[in-house]
Amino acid sequence: MAIVQVVQWDDSLNSNDILAWRYVDRKNPSKSDELGNWTQLVVRETQEAILFKDGQALDLFGAGRHTLSTSNIPMLGRLINLSTGGESAFKASVWFVNKVSILDVKWGTQNPILLRDPEYQIPIYVRAFGQFGMRVSESRQFVLKLSGNKSSITRDEVAEYFKGLILSRMGDMIATYIAQKKINIFEISAYLEDMSNEAVERIRPEFALYGIEPLNFYFGSVNVVDDDEGIKKLKSAMAERASMNVMGYSYQQKRSFDVMESAAKNEGGSSLLGAGVGLGAGMGMGSAIGQMASQMGQYINPNTSPLTPNPSTLSPTNPSAVCPSCGQPVTAGAKFCMNCGARLVCPNCGHALIPGAKFCPDCGKQI
């Protein structure tokens, strides 16, 4: 009966791809699990070996040369009966576990994740990818949980096994940062380091169940699908808002300007105000429309441009002037509205201000 004298890792195996391997005698594969009582087990650095008998993991061996005998492995002596002075072979197998650190395992979303932009509430599709590092921390647990009937466990098999878990956890994290923390998708790249550090801790408990330790986890990129209609709408809305911020007015004011310009082309400014108040009253919104018309009226001056306020209307010396922000009357000489607190005149030159403007239209001083 053949006796295996030396059991060790096969040099033909790629140690960067194989995380665990069940010993096979290349010369006589059918006798790979027949070990003699004095078989020499050689375990290299960054490796551990596990002796299995009848499906039980008997002992764990670290780096070095080990003699497999019943005196060294008491449990082995109870499971076998050597009747020929210790020269007989017994059925057992050896698993070698590669504990080298692997740092370049890739991950990524196969399908984009549907989320909603926190500011504009526009549905968008988001993709993410990166890489992570891992190593086997508990050899016995790793082999028992993942080996099954296989003769080896590869890094690709482990990555595939955890792919669903990783994508689920990372999808939840991206949604948390965008929806709950209200971070714009185009600004999320500034948070990738924080997300990477948090991701390691999120997956650590799940990996530990299989004897694996995550060494790091990186988000390489979180991006969007450029041809997605939601992204096109979001970019358009952000561009329009940035333009309004530069000009110094709000969306509501821009809409007022658009309405006035359209009315001036079709009917004239005075008929617009009358029609606006009448329509508002007929729909139960006379007060709201009337207030808007009051604010819009300050811009209608045949001698000024649509974006220039009527100085006689906004002058604080005019007792009948109204606040351009809230439409309430202001007292003569007032610099601020007593109702809403809006600044009425430039603190530098005293010129009337345009609602929402960041600079004085007369002297150019920043407000």
Domain of 141, CATH number, reads 3.30.479.30
202, part of any domain: yes
145 shares its domain with 225: yes
DSSP string, 282-333: HTT-HHHHHHHHHHHHTT--TTS-TTS--HHHH-TT-TT-B-TTT--B--TT
| Domain stop point among 307, 332, 357 | 307
333, part of any domain: no
37-54 in b/e form (b: 16+ CB < 10 A) is bebebbbeeebbbbbbbe
Residue 182 φ/ψ region, left for φ over 0, alpha for ψ in the -120 to 50 degree band, beta for the rest = left
Question: Rounded to the nearest 5 degrees, what angle is found at the Cα of 72, between the Cα atoms of 67 and 76?
Answer: 100
51 shares its domain with 112: no
Domain of residue 162 covers 102-231
217, part of any domain: yes
87 shares its domain with 124: no
Amino acid at site 146: L
302, part of any domain: yes
Helix, strand, or coil here: 211?
Answer: coil
83 shares its domain with 191: no
Question: Would you write out the chain's pLDDT as a tens digit for each of its 367 residues?
Answer: 445 479 999 988 888 899 999 999 888 888 788 877 778 999 999 999 999 887 788 889 999 999 887 666 655 555 555 444 444 566 788 999 999 999 999 999 888 888 888 877 888 889 999 999 999 999 999 999 999 889 999 999 999 999 999 999 998 999 889 888 888 888 898 999 999 999 999 999 999 999 999 999 999 999 887 777 877 787 777 666 666 666 665 555 555 556 656 665 665 444 444 444 444 434 444 444 445 445 444 444 444 434 334 444 444 444 447 787 787 887 777 778 878 878 888 888 877 877 777 778 778 777 7
| Domain stop point among 37, 66, 98 | 98
119 shares its domain with 220: yes
Residues sharing a CB contact under 8 Å with residue 246, sequence separation 6 or more, in sequence order: none
184, part of any domain: yes
49 shares its domain with 63: yes
107 shares its domain with 202: yes
| Domain stop point among 71, 98, 125 | 98
- 98 and 19 Cβ atoms separated by less than 8 Å: yes
193, part of any domain: yes
220, part of any domain: yes
136, part of any domain: yes
Total domains present in the chain: 3
147 shares its domain with 180: yes
pLDDT score recorded for residue 233: 81
269-282 helix and 286-297 helix, angle to the nearest 10 degrees: 160
- Determine how many CB atoms are found less than 10 A away from the CB of residue 132: 24
273 shares its domain with 162: no
152 shares its domain with 222: yes
The bridge status of strand 34-43 relative to strand 4-7 is parallel
Beta bridge partners of 42: 65
203 shares its domain with 126: yes
167 shares its domain with 121: yes
- 191 and 99 Cβ atoms separated by less than 8 Å: no
